[in-house]
Amino acid sequence: MKMKIGDREYPMRLTLGAMLRFRRETGKELNEAEADMSMTMLIVLMWCCLVSACQADGVECDLTMEQMADRLDVKDVNRFSSQLSQGQSAEAKKKESPPEAAEETAEASST
């Protein structure tokens, strides 16, 4: 996803690098924090996603966490949270329903 922060648009997505940064910043794994995700933790996660996506995409980003937070409002945080939830739901559905090819292979090997 892209996020407009101040007068610039930045990439922002959950990456493994963002998860590592989140752990360093909070002392918690993301899955531990999800059950009790406060607004502060969500802002930390947003910053980690911002820095990591910019690093991965070669986009310059010198915003501190506080500078990012100062330029966002609650609507931006809610949008990010919603996008994150949609991404997790889609990932969970992929894990719940195995590909048809795998089912066919399993059926063929049992006959």
The residues, ordered by sequence, that sit 6+ positions from 17 with a Cβ below 8 Å of its Cβ are 52, 55, 56
Q: 14-73, pLDDT tens digit by residue?
A: 999 999 999 999 999 998 888 778 889 999 999 999 999 999 999 999 999 999 999 999
pLDDT value at residue 31 = 87
Query: Tokens at residue 106, please?
Result: 């399993």
For residue 47, which of 13, 16, 73 has the smallest C-alpha distance?
13
The CB density around residue 67, as the number of other CB atoms within 10 Å, is: 12
For 11, phi and psi rounded to 5 degrees?
Answer: -75, 145
Say what the pTM is: 0.76
pLDDT value at residue 102 = 46
- CA-CA-CA-CA torsion sign (11, 14, 20, 23): positive
Pick the residue with more confidence: 109 or 68? 68
Identify the residue whose tokens are 């406060």.
38
